[in-house]
Amino acid sequence: MTSILTNSSAMSALQTLRSINSNLTDTQNRVSSGMRVEQASDNVAYWSISTSMKSDNKALGAATDALGVGAAKVDTAYAAMDSAIDVVNEIKAKLVTSSETSVDKEQIQLEVKKLQEQLSAIGQAASFNGENWMVNTTNTTVVDGFIRESDGTVKINTASFKAGSYAMFSTIDGGVGSGGILGAVMTIELTSVTTQGKIDTFLDTVETALGKMTNGAAALGALKTRIDMQDKFSSKLSDAIESGVSRLVDANMEEESARLSALQTQQQLAIQSLSIANSSSQNIMSLFRG
């Protein structure tokens, strides 16, 4: 039966066209944005996971930046320690020279004094961003990672350095360092009446300081190695997270391209079908023509 009040065929064709247009709009959005999960309504689970992981990746990037600052601090401290070792070795050489009875110990003391001043200058200059590990009494830490636990909690991972144990000086007052590894070295003073026994004591003091400084340089080197390894790992981890998020939310452009072409064809056919359905009611007019 044909009715001029209700065109069932046109209604059906219109519903089909609406569905196609809706799917076409979604596909066009995915093609333009490159994402198949752009908001929570697209896929609640994937959107939630991707949002958390993007946040973690950003925090990991910040931790990597902080790692760079830590590496700079370690490099600064190591450069100071390495230079100070060379200076202390020079003091050691001067003490050995002073053991010769014919030398002027007071003249050697002038050189020793300048070397001691150089040690203070090295310690005072070993500062990065206002932090000096070579003039310190406390232990320090550097950020080396961002971790999300299995229970969902997060924390910042740090690496520690015993700056208080390996510091060249505990304080520098008036340009003169005191305390720390080199505190005793700074008290060495030769005079014309300094005995060989006293010189031997000075040599023992220098050897003790060199041993501690060597241990400090080794600790800094180990920390630098850890920082370098963590930096490489953080870079790989960040890439892996980004790739994983991409698998969850990024659109497959090959599939979307094929779907877009198919929907455009379906849209054209649905419009044609609706046109045919609408024209069927016009045929009733022919029944009333004489």
Q: Which two tokens stand for residue 156?
A: 């910042």
**What are the mean pLDDT values of the chain's consecutive 10-residue runs (290 residues total)?**
69 87 83 82 86 84 84 93 96 94 91 96 92 89 75 75 91 91 94 92 96 94 88 86 87 84 88 80 67
d(CA 51, CA 199): 68
d(CA 46, CA 50): 6
The number of C-alpha atoms within 13 Å of 72 and in the hemisphere containing its C-beta is: 11
Note the pLDDT tens digit of each residue in 208-229.
Answer: 999 999 999 999 999 988 888 8
pLDDT of residue 89: 96
Interhelix angle 105-125/44-98, nearest 10 degrees: 170
Nearest to 164 by CA among 149, 185, 179: 179
Nearest to 155 by CA among 74, 63, 242: 63
Residue 72 CB contacts under 8 Å (≥ 6 apart), including other chains: 128, 129
Q: Which two tokens stand for residue 79?
A: 């450069």
d(CA 64, CA 58): 10
Query: What are the angstrom distances between the C-alpha of 88 and each of 44, 165, 175, 186?
Result: 65, 18, 18, 10
Are the beta carbons of 126 and 166 closer than 8 angstroms? no
Helix, strand, or coil (residue 206): helix
Cα angle at 119 between 113 and 177, to 5 degrees?
A: 90
d(CA 257, CA 19): 19
Helix, strand, or coil (residue 40): coil
d(CA 166, CA 146): 27
